[in-house]
Chain A
């Protein structure tokens, strides 16, 4: 809901306002106040968050640098699961766990035939991560530089609240270290060691997973998300988590 529209509405009373709506309104107020009082330092809402309010941030307004993102070319996924195999190997994922999965949807198409759509899912590295918000021990947070949602297993008490909060079911409890484990865009296993892409993206034979820096206007993720007439979607946008995993069909 935009503030202009809000002003035109009758006061419904607080009891009928959803908590999300209330929170958003408050945030807006705080952001505006912060700016009014002299800019970013006094703003209680991080400027990064305000700037990232659109699904795909406007060019030059990326909250992070590098702003890691993944574009999934959904219709090319054939569920060969090489991405999952590569992830398991690279990130030491136990047999009962997962950092990325592939969902399947089947529907009837014209002529009575069936169509199958495979949907790769991983941590969306949200700009407003619900999992970070609920963690009682700050065992998970958004890396200030890259925007990756990282975990510190030694700080995790295994309450699993983050697993409940995640809109994408992207977290699991790892018995081995008694902590929640999740995708970190291969930060620990690869990116921090100088590799340029994730294990899953590298393993994909159909070029479904495209990984890169959205803030780099020459990167392929940027190009895919800024091609004219391209339809871009994210999973569960209604949550307002502002994901960094985008889906396209080109």
Chain B
């Protein structure tokens, strides 16, 4: 009797363990490979205006672009290098430069539409970095 009970308990334990393992395994094929898809952490530009987001994940894993679709012709790989250039402006994008190469209204939504998709602003940036929106300073509610 006692033996039967412990076998049953052991069986349940093993079964639930297996279930968990299976769940883990299902997750793994979707794992993000930074070597294939680029850095997982979003790129945030603070120049020329605060704060603009770019996520490699949406463009590579999501939209199926290759690294060399954008690097190095449209964007140098070096972090923050584009922001130092004088022509890193919306006007250049409208003329087909940088993001505007695809965000032209045909390949992807046009650069002069859906502003806040990329322009997450000071508040969006604060939320990403874990700070409450405008936690201190102007406009904060006591």
Binds B, one of A1-9, A38-46, A94-102: A94-102
Q: A82-B49, A93-B138, A96-B140 are in contact. Are A102 and B121 (CB under 8 A)?
A: yes
Chain B residue numbers with a CB within 8 Å of A77 are 115
* CB interface residues, B 100-138, toward A, < 8 Å: 114-117, 119-124, 133, 136-138
Q: A79-B122, A79-B124, A80-B121 are in contact. Are A118 and B137 (CB under 8 A)?
A: no
Q: Are B133 and A80 in contact (CB under 8 A)?
A: no
Q: Are A104 and B121 in contact (CB under 8 A)?
A: yes
Distance (Å) between the CB of A200 and the closest chain B CB?
Answer: 12
Answer whether residue B29 sits at the interface, using C-beta atoms and an 8 A cutoff. no
Distance (Å) between the CB of B41 and the closest chain A CB?
Answer: 19
Q: Are A80 and B116 in contact (CB under 8 A)?
A: no
Q: Are A98 and B121 in contact (CB under 8 A)?
A: no
Answer whether residue B4 sits at the interface, using C-beta atoms and an 8 A cutoff. no
Chain B residue numbers with a CB within 8 Å of A101 are 138-139
Chain A residue numbers with a CB within 8 Å of B138 are 84, 88, 93, 95-98, 101
Tell me if B's interface is mostly helix, strand, loop or mixed. loop
Nearest B residue (CB) for A79:
B121
Answer whether residue B56 sits at the interface, using C-beta atoms and an 8 A cutoff. no
Chain A residue numbers with a CB within 8 Å of B48 are 205
Chain A residue numbers with a CB within 8 Å of B119 are 78-80
Distance (Å) between the CB of B117 and the closest chain A CB?
Answer: 8
Q: Are B140 and A78 in contact (CB under 8 A)?
A: no
Chain A residue numbers with a CB within 8 Å of B124 are 79, 104, 116
- 1/0 per position for B5-38, CB-CB distance to A under 8 A? 0000000000000000000000000000000000
Q: 3 closest A-B pairs (Cβ-Cβ)?
A: A79-B121, A78-B119, A101-B139
In addition to A102-B139, A115-B114, 10 A-B residue pairs with Cβ atoms within 8 Å of each other are A79-B51, A80-B51, A80-B121, A80-B122, A81-B122, A82-B49, A96-B138, A96-B140, A104-B121, A104-B123
Residues of A in contact with B (beta carbons under 8 Å apart): 75-82, 84, 88, 93, 95-98, 101-102, 104, 115-118, 205-206
What would 6 A/B residue contacts be, using CB atoms closer than 8 Å?
Answer: A77-B115, A84-B139, A95-B138, A98-B138, A102-B122, A104-B124
